Copies of this chain bind each other. A is one copy, B any other.
Amino acid sequence: MSLLVIGTVAFDAIETPFGKTDKIVGGAATYASLAASYFYDKVKIVAVVGDDFPAESIANFGSHHIDTEGLQVKAGEKSFFWSGKYHNDMNSRDTLITELNVLADFDPIIPANYQDCEYLMLGNLTPQVQQTVIKRLKNRPKLIVMDTMNFWMDIAMDDLLETIKLVDVLTINDAEARQLSGEYSLAKAANKILTMGPKYLIIKKGEHGALLFGEGKIFSAPALPLEEVFDPTGAGDTFAGGFIGYMAKAGTVNFDNMKNAIIYGSALASFCVEKFGTEKIKNLSAGEVAARVQQFVNLTKFEIITA
């Protein structure tokens, strides 16, 4: 039994209205596996880095009990590098640099002892690589969650459509839900996307929370109104990782557990944006996570007494 996370492990250089970083460790699999590790202790990653990737950053996964046997280190090559600058509203950003490096020909090799994977998180990556991972697993996982983005809809829609057929939960943002479905109404978009393969759809709305669709039901999760969003990088990956980590802990795939998983994922994402990169989500205590979850409970709880 384990939770497998695939995605990028990479360097980011980030500029926000609050400051800028040099190259820091980022990547979808980094954020997602760290987040998942708060709820589940058998998280394993498949990813690729160059030999420029610092050994202490790999060791940091270990301190979260994340198995890095599937993290390929390519000698003489460089890690994936992304650099971006956020606008003042923090909701939009410009990509300044994208260097694929090791990612250009990433072949996701699954170590033999990863074959016990019951929960699979397909972090944002080429849909074809995501699909390859599913096919290389001898037993279909109990739950496959896939994150993706508009970039793949623009350049690899056919591959994307093939891949989403194979997953249980798709997580995208509202603009992407509209792009994928061709529907403006999110309710209509969700109905359409749920005919494309996934049994559940999570629409991430950033500062407006998230919507879960599935089993003919809808759940609306709030976002915590934050005084300051310091750096949104990785928030979506952290959300997805927290989501699947909680699902693995819960052990049963159903709508009620997914509702709670969304709250836990949202709580971790709300920490993520408070500092640059993984700085905040690297060192959270169980008490901090529980207190943040309680804030989400307080934020939405109401008691209607029907007359």
Contacts and interface: CB of A to CB of B under 8 A. Distances in A.
Interface stretch (A51-59, A71-79, A226-234): A226-234
A302 B259 contact: yes
Interface residues of A, number: 41
A227 B188 contact: yes
A186 B225 contact: yes
What is the copy number of this chain in the assembly? 2
A263 interface: yes
Given A209-B208, A219-B302, A260-B302, A226 B297 contact: no
A220 interface: yes
Q: Is the interface of A mostly helix, strand, loop or mixed?
A: mixed
Contact of A187 (B217, B227, B260, B306): B227
A185 B300 contact: no
A218 B298 CA distance: 8
A187 B227 CA distance: 5
Contacts of A89: 184
B226 A187 contact: yes
A303 interface: yes
Given A260-B302, A306-B290, A229 B185 contact: yes
B260 A218 contact: no
A233 B267 CA distance: 35
26 contacts: A90-B184, A185-B225, A185-B226, A185-B228, A185-B229, A186-B207, A186-B225, A188-B227, A188-B228, A190-B225, A209-B220, A218-B225, A218-B299, A219-B299, A220-B223, A220-B225, A222-B222, A222-B300, A256-B303, A260-B302, A260-B303, A263-B302, A293-B304, A293-B306, A297-B304, A300-B300
